[in-house]
Amino acid sequence: MRAHEAGALHADGYRGPAWLETPVDVNALVPSLWATSVRRGDDGVLSVAGVSASELAREFGTPAYIIDEDDFRSRARKFKQEYAAHFAPLAGADVFYAGKAFLCTEVARWIHAEGLNLDVCTGGELAVARRAGIPGSRIGMHGNNKSVAEIREGLEYGVSRIVVDSLEEIDRIARVAAELGVVAPVLVRVNVGVEAHTHEFIATAHEDQKFGLSLAGGQALEAVRRILDRPGTLSLLGLHSHIGSQIFDTSGFEVSARRVLGLHTAVTKEVGVELPELDLGGGFGIAYTTEHDPLPPARLASGMADIVERECRAEGITVPRISIEPGRAIAGPSTFTLYEVGTVKPVQLDGGASRVYVSVDGGMSDNIRTALYDANYSCTVAGRRSDADPVLARVVGRHCESGDIVVMDEFLPADVRAGDLIAVPGTGAYCRALSSQYNHTPRPPVVAVRDGAARVIVRRETIDDILALDV
């Protein structure tokens, strides 16, 4: 078939992407996409932890992020337990929750209570951690352009590690440490030249990007030498490598670990220093749609333990203590966003196909990922059962942008109408965290549900909040 000039979305007979199958039952839920407590009742209404979507909409309004607290905490706990178990025969492992995925004071408390450490990358995230009572010894600090003020705040609070991202930053951290009379614990972020198979702008280990110090170009080894030359102000804990996001197997980690452990070995043999730690980053994928098949924490931990042990044995070096940084894999599946439908508009496509545009009361201000990364999501009508046939739909937002799309392609019932509730799963990571006030739209609340009770953990923004910033 000749390609259509306007693209595949307008080609003859377009019926959505290849992975999107027409459902036999448009009311059916795909369990892998939802928090564990999400159910559909006999009346068709979704519930989470015993609270119905209709009740949540009535009490808290829409749009709203709805988080299953037990699901979030159990995912965090599972990562800690599995990595502890699989790395116990080696040198052990630490799990740092990547706060950039989603962070608020209550979530930070959950992470602390479940025994995880917390990774922050701004002074604002550090402030949340401090407010939640997380001690500095349980906090790691990232960032490619950390300010002097942020470095000082981190060192004053006693963070357990600062990840060095440039040669220039070495001097900056050393100066602040000297002023405070402390020795700053640091890791070197190594750019190992391994690119995760994800969208270009979230694949963070190839050479042409802003993060890390090049392994191939020698800057990473130079950073190690410069840090070791400052024993009075800097303490080198080890190396750090992060290869991207939405990773569904351990093959990328295998190549990454081999390369970064090669540098680890060079430091041991050439410089005479045995580094005690190695951080392999995060990026573990989740299921946003039926096309995704993520590995459970047990298989991730087992596979990574095998890789690290094998590579260290091949190099003839002692296995270092390992760190990982899951964020999305904990927060993402635990949350869905609840919207209300406003306008429904059928649109004819070329070749006799059609699509229904379903406009909801949120959009790119509460989920920018579809516009930013071409991310795919799923959704379902959440407030009733439908016996109508499935139709190809696109869920769009209320903002003045043609790219304001929440769900690119999904089958919804043909009778979808104004007033219906729409639930989009997998929105716990990088949705509230990347939210905005575009078109002066207040940001939604985050509502935690547990044991049949719901409570606000981040309140809804108001117009007064927005106007209060004007001077």
pLDDT of residue 204: 52
pLDDT of residue 251: 78
Cα gap 171→151, rounded to integer Å: 12
- Cα-based distances in Å from 98 to 331, 363, 384: 10, 25, 36
Q: Which structure tokens are listed for 214?
A: 């090049």
pLDDT of residue 252: 72
The count of other CB atoms within 10 Å of the CB of residue 171 is: 13
pLDDT of residue 8: 41
Tally of CA atoms within 13 A in the half-sphere of 92 that contains its CB: 3
pLDDT of residue 206: 61
Cα gap 187→173, rounded to integer Å: 12
| Measured CA angle at 286 (ends 281, 289), to 5 deg | 150
Q: Are 227 and 171 in contact (CB under 8 A)?
A: no
Q: Are 353 and 9 in contact (CB under 8 A)?
A: no
DSSP 133-152: T--GGGEEE--SS--HHHHH
pLDDT in tens, 173-220: 999 999 999 999 999 999 988 766 555 444 454 666 788 898 888 999
User: Is 431 annotated in the active site?
Assistant: no
Contacts 24+ apart (CB under 8 A), 144-153: 144/210, 144/211, 146/172, 147/123, 148/172, 148/176, 149/123, 150/122, 150/123, 150/126, 151/176, 152/176, 152/179, 152/180, 153/123, 153/126
Type of residue at 171? D
The pTM assigned to this predicted structure is: 0.94
pLDDT of residue 13: 55
Type of residue at 230? R
Catalytic residue among 104, 121, 312, 400: 400
pLDDT of residue 10: 43
User: Within the chain, which residues score under 70 in pLDDT?
Assistant: 1-14, 195-208
pLDDT in tens, 293-325: 899 999 999 999 999 999 899 989 999 999 999
